[in-house]
């Protein structure tokens, strides 16, 4: 070893902080590290299996891929070895010295928040969700050595670290390295030496890694014979009747990298024109990357049990939370990733798997409303992207959708339930969209609808502003925003038959409305009496043409709207303050009140006053007049 080839490097800042959290965390369940290292080893074997399709010489005289655990209880050493693809020097540094995963900083923030809350359970779930993989080894190891030799290479390298801020990389003599693949040696901490014991390792492998598609064997002590811990049989190739619920859960956890229970398991074999097997899961908890900008799915594609890629788009992006595998019998083994993107067969598989997942979700909704409610709570905001993107399945997705409404209480309602409660002369499905669920639930726009018992959908997810603007209807009823255009409630009777009709204005109030419109000038498109207000004095609505208020905000924020349309100010002509103001002859009071009413409507709509300084001055002037100080 020379100084030219021996190199010591500091960890990237994020890695250093992560390692500190790992080592000093309060979590007691540290078993997760073994599953992560076995998963990494299985991935390395799968990568070699794929590359060997076109370069069979990479397998040499050792075609049987395997993962080997070996332990030395007396020395407190645990080794996880694979004969997979291996890593070069640069790959070692990139893979183990830096973190490129976009979720890492989120993981560290979450794990810091979790300390002191739910302890081991929360920590284990976070590690699984965020896939920090290799670094979890430092929860049990005082030092980690990684020796790796890339398949086909004449060089081997040693990566070593105690997890305290730096790592070293140095060459290794070939006789001291594996023929190919990677060996991870954990020098266990004093309080983790039980991980060198057979019964501990067997338990963890059975619980967490028993279904990885690579055989796992165990050498109990140096010089002992290897014994099998798992046979590497692909679970998806077995009949459903032969697979237990626990088997499915274990496989889900290994393929998804999470520790929750799957909310839905879909396992089927398609035969006929195209043959393939799918084993996919709807998670019981949100994956960390659910809202990543690239919106990529995480389904692994196999051909005749040979791993091909996890980048194939086998489900639409609004089902990106689904995890699992698809194994095709028809694709050629030497298919390239470029060919995959344009493959008609992959298109047929995508259609088949997508239809099956949606139909199974529909069955779950019919047979177990509570379980489906949890699925919708976790993934409804993503599934609704399909209402905007997937015209072919829009009707199915509308039937799946669940909504908070003015009649749903703490739960949600389907559109079928909404349609069953339509009022006499009701011609639309009404909704209000916004970015604050609590605020829109108390919006003044709802008052006239509540007075008539009309149910309104409360849409608080960002995607809602887009799909409802797409001209959809349900059973012939269009979706209509209650913050846009006229409310058109005159034909629907009030629940209180003795209440005076809304929207009727006296001569004095009519004159006031004209004065307000003149005073506000170009700030509004119009001022008019409202038939949607019963308790509040004012509200803002959008014109009948163009986007509703919430969609307009999204367009403005994204730079796709040159200038916002002027709103319409609606006045409740029966409100006591409006009636009192209509009887006032004080021009200054009317002028200040006009602008204050507009700013009050803006605040109720989740906006700020147009001019904060002018708003304060007008408010103080009115207060002073009321107190008789001016």
**pLDDT digits 0-9 by tens, 386-421:** 999 999 999 999 999 999 999 998 899 999 999 999
Q: Which of 36-40, 278-282, 566-570 has the lowest mean pLDDT?
A: 36-40
Residue 128 pLDDT exceeds 50: no
298 near 256, Cβ under 8 Å?
Answer: yes
Using DSSP's 3-state secondary structure scheme, residue 479 falls into strand
Would you state the structure tokens that stand for residue 515, as one six-digit string? 């004065």
* CA distances, 131 to each of 25, 32, 80 (Å): 17, 10, 18
Residue partners of 616: CB distance under 8 A and separation at least 6: none
Check residue 56 and give its pLDDT: 93
> What's 196-221 look like in SS3?
HCHHHHHHHHHHHHCCCCCCEEEECC
- Which residue, among 36, 17, 187, has the nearest Cα to 126 in the 3D structure? 36
Instruction: Please determine whether the domains at 7-230 and 235-372 fall in the same fold group of CATH.
Output: no
Q: What is the pLDDT of residues 577-596, one digit of tens each?
A: 999 999 888 889 999 999 99
Would you state the structure tokens that stand for residue 581, as one six-digit string? 């103001």
Q: What is the pLDDT of residues 289-330, one digit of tens each?
A: 888 878 888 898 888 777 777 778 899 999 999 999 999 888
Share above pLDDT 70 across residues of the chain, in percent, rounded to a whole number: 86
Using 50, 70 and 90 to split pLDDT, how confident is the model at 23?
low
Check residue 28 and give its pLDDT: 45
Give the domain 507-545+555-627 fold: 1.20.120
Residue 18 pLDDT exceeds 70: no
Supply the pTM of this predicted model.
0.71
Using DSSP's 3-state secondary structure scheme, residue 394 falls into helix
Check residue 222 and give its pLDDT: 77
Give the domain 7-230 fold: Heat Shock Protein 90 (3.30.565)
Domain ranges of the chain: 7-230, 235-372, 507-545+555-627
235-372 is a CATH 3.30.230.80 domain: yes
Using 50, 70 and 90 to split pLDDT, how confident is the model at 2?
very low
- Which residue, among 5, 60, 12, 68, has the nearest Cα to 41 in the 3D structure? 68
Residue 180 pLDDT exceeds 60: yes
């Amino acid at each position: 070893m020379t100084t030219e080839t021996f190199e010591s490097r500091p960890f990237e800042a994020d890695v250093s902080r992560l390692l500190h959290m790992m080592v000093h965390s309060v979590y007691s369940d540290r078993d997760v590290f073994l599953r992560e290292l076995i998963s990494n080893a299985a991935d390395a074997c799968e990568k070699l299996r794929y590359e060997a399709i076109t370069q069979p010489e990479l397998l040499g005289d050792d075609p049987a891929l395997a993962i080997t655990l070996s332990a030395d209880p007396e020395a407190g050493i645990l080794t996880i070895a694979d004969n997979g693809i291996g890593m070069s020097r640069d790959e070692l540094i990139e893979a183990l010295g830096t973190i490129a995963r976009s979720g890492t900083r989120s993981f560290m923030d979450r794990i810091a928040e979790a300390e002191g809350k739910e302890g081991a359970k929360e920590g284990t779930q976070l590690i699984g969700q965020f896939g920090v993989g290799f670094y979890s080894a430092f929860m049990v190891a005082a030092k980690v050595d990684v020796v790796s030799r890339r398949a086909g290479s004449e060089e081997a390298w040693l990566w070593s670290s105690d997890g305290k801020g730096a790592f070293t990389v140095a060459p290794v003599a070939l006789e001291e390295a594996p023929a190919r693949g990677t060996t991870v040696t954990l020098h266990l901490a004093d309080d983790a030496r039980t991980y060198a014991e057979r019964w501990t390792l067997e338990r963890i492998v059975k619980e967490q890694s028993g279904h990885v598609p690579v055989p796992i064997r165990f050498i109990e002590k140096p010089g002992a014979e290897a014994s099998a811990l798992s046979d590497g049989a692909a679970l998806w190739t077995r009949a459903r009747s032969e697979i237990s619920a626990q088997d499915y859960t274990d496989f889900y956890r290994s393929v998804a990298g999470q520790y929750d229970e799957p909310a839905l398991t879909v396992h089927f074999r398609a035969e006929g024109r195209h043959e393939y097997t799918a084993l996919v899961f709807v998670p019981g908890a949100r994956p960390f990357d659910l809202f990543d900008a690239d919106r990529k799915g995480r389904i692994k594609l196999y051909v005749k049990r040979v791993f091909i890629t996890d980048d194939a788009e086998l489900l639409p992006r609004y089902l990106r939370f689904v995890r699992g595998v698809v194994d095709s019998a028809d694709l050629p083994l030497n298919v390239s990733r470029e060919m995959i993107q344009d493959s008609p067969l992959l298109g047929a598989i995508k259609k088949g798997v997508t239809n099956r997942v949606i139909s199974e979700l529909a069955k779950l909704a019919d047979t177990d409303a509570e379980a489906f409610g949890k699925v919708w709570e976790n993934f409804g905001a993503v599934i609704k992207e399909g209402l905007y993107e997937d015209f072919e399945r829009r009707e199915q997705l509308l039937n799946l959708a669940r909504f908070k409404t003015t009649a749903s209480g703490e739960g949600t309602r389907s559109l079928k339930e909404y349609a069953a409660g339509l009022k006499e002369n009701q011609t639309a499905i009404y909704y209000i969209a916004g970015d604050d669920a609590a605020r829109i639930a108390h919006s003044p726009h709802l008052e006239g609808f509540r007075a008539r018992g009309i149910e309104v959908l409360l849409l608080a997810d960002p995607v809602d502003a887009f799909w409802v603007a797409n001209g959809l209807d349900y059973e012939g009823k269009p979706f209509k925003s209650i913050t846009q255009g006229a409310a058109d409630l005159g034909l629907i009777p009030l629940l209180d038959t003795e209440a005076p009709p809304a929207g009727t204005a006296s001569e004095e109030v009519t004159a006031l409305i004209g004065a307000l419109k003149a005073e506000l000038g170009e700030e509004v498109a119009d001022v008019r009496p409202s038939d949607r207000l019963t308790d509040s004095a004012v509200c803002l609505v959008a014109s009948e043409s163009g986007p509703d208020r919430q969609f307009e905000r999204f367009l403005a924020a994204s730079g796709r709207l040159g200038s916002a349309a002027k709103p319409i100010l609606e006045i409740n002509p029966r409100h006591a303050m409006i009636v009192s103001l209509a009887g006032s002859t004080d021009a200054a009071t009317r002028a200040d009140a006009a602008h204050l009413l507009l700013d009050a409507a803006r605040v109720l709509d989740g906006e700020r006053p147009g001019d904060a300084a002018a708003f304060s001055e007008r408010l103080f002037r009115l207060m002073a007049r009321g107190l008789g100080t001016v």
